Amino acid sequence: MNFTARLTFVGLLLGAFAAVTPALSQDYPARPIRIIVPFAPGGSTDAVVRILANQLEKELNGTVIVENRAGGAATIGMSVVAQSPPDGYILGAANIAFGANPSLLKSLPYDTVKDFAPVSLVARVPLVLAVHQSVPVNTVKEFIARAKEKPDSMTYSTAGHGSGSELSMALFAYLTGIKLVNVPYNGGGPQVAGAVGGHVTSLFATIPAGQAHFASGVLRPLGITTLKRDTTLPNVPPIAEAGVPDYEMGDWIGIVAPAKTPPAVIEKLNKAIAKALMVPETQSRIEKIGTQVEGSTPAQFTAFIDKEIAKWKKVVDTMGLSLD
């Protein structure tokens, strides 16, 4: 085959591919979509993704299944996504661990930047510093004072190494000079259960995971990680307002696909997520569990992840949080 013939052949292939890609998008989804949540059931990521999946089924006119693959500081579930065919049928629920793990873990089973295609940011998640009802503190300042006076008596649960709850407490401890004993659990649900059962004295919990226990009084909320109060807990002050001026923290939730997923499929998914998040009932369900709805374009989400990776590198290096 001479050079001209080869060029013609390549041109035909590219033309065929360009014609097929939109067709794939039009037919998508032709079978069930699975969203891998890399945490145990019961946490905020799981709760929000299930609400989103319910509405996505209507927007895409297909089946969306949420599958929990907990463990490995969220790397087990995300590895499944990274290694899946790039066809849009296996997606991943990314959160703060996705941006922090490149710094927390010296060796990841995937490349966070190269092995994923960001689809959309979905929500932001405030966390709440809370104590078990048996702990005699009612404010952030009292919590800090007790931790300094009786460091051996203060423990805290986390949703696992590299989770938002662990990073929140690490930042809090760094800024206040306190030391507490970390008791890691496998997910947000088990983490809260540990605190509710009195096995630990404190925790940073998401509002969805801790809300019922705040209402019952078993857990006493002291401060919220964001700079603004949350409408679901209007009497709980921001930690920055309650005694730690430089403190600001927040988890987030987004959807990613395997790298090289066709742009047309990414675009269709992004538009479906945007439409789902605009449905009043979906917004209400997400906000009622203390999570703030926030969509994005794929490009905006990519830029957001890049900033998260850079931010957590500075925090991890400064605070010595590496898990390896």
Q: 79-94: per-residue pLDDT in tens?
A: 999 999 999 999 999 9
Assigned fold of 3-125+251-319: D-Maltodextrin-Binding Protein; domain 2 (3.40.190)
Rounded distance, CA 157 to CA 252, Å?
19
- The pLDDT of residue 259: 98
Radius of gyration of the chain (CA): 22
Give residue 16's pLDDT band: very low, low, confident or very high (50, 70, 90).
Answer: very low
Rounded distance, CA 317 to CA 103, Å?
8
Distance of CA 10 to the CA centre of its chain: 42
- The pLDDT of residue 155: 96
Give residue 188's pLDDT band: very low, low, confident or very high (50, 70, 90).
Answer: confident
Domain 127-224 has CATH 3.40.190.10: yes
Q: Average pLDDT of 16-39?
A: 76
Give residue 73's pLDDT band: very low, low, confident or very high (50, 70, 90).
Answer: confident
Distance of CA 219 to the CA centre of its chain: 23
CB 73 within 8 A of CB 163: yes
In the predicted structure, residue 44 carries a pLDDT above the cut 50: yes
- Residue ranges per domain, the chain? 3-125+251-319, 127-224
Whether 127-224 and 3-125+251-319 are alike in CATH topology: the answer is yes
Other Cβ atoms less than 10 A from the Cβ of 242: the count is: 19
Nearest one of 40, 38, 102 to 76, comparing CA atoms: 38
Give residue 9's pLDDT band: very low, low, confident or very high (50, 70, 90).
Answer: very low
pLDDT tens for residues 152-180?
Answer: 789 999 987 777 888 899 889 888 999 89
Element spanning 128, H or E: strand 127-132
Rounded distance, CA 213 to CA 221, Å?
9
pTM of the model: 0.75
Poorest-pLDDT segment among 23-37, 235-249, 259-273, 307-321: 307-321
Q: Average pLDDT of 95-119?
A: 94
Strands 127-132 vs 155-158: parallel, antiparallel or unpaired: unpaired
pLDDT tens for residues 202-259?
Answer: 999 988 788 899 999 999 999 999 888 888 899 999 999 999 998 988 789 999 999 9
Query: Strand 202-206's sheet: what is its strand order?
Result: 181-184, 155-158, 202-206, 127-132, 219-224
Beta bridge partners of 120: 255
Rounded distance, CA 288 to CA 284, Å?
6
Task: Report percent pLDDT > 70 for the chain.
Answer: 91
Task: Report percent pLDDT > 90 for the chain.
Answer: 63
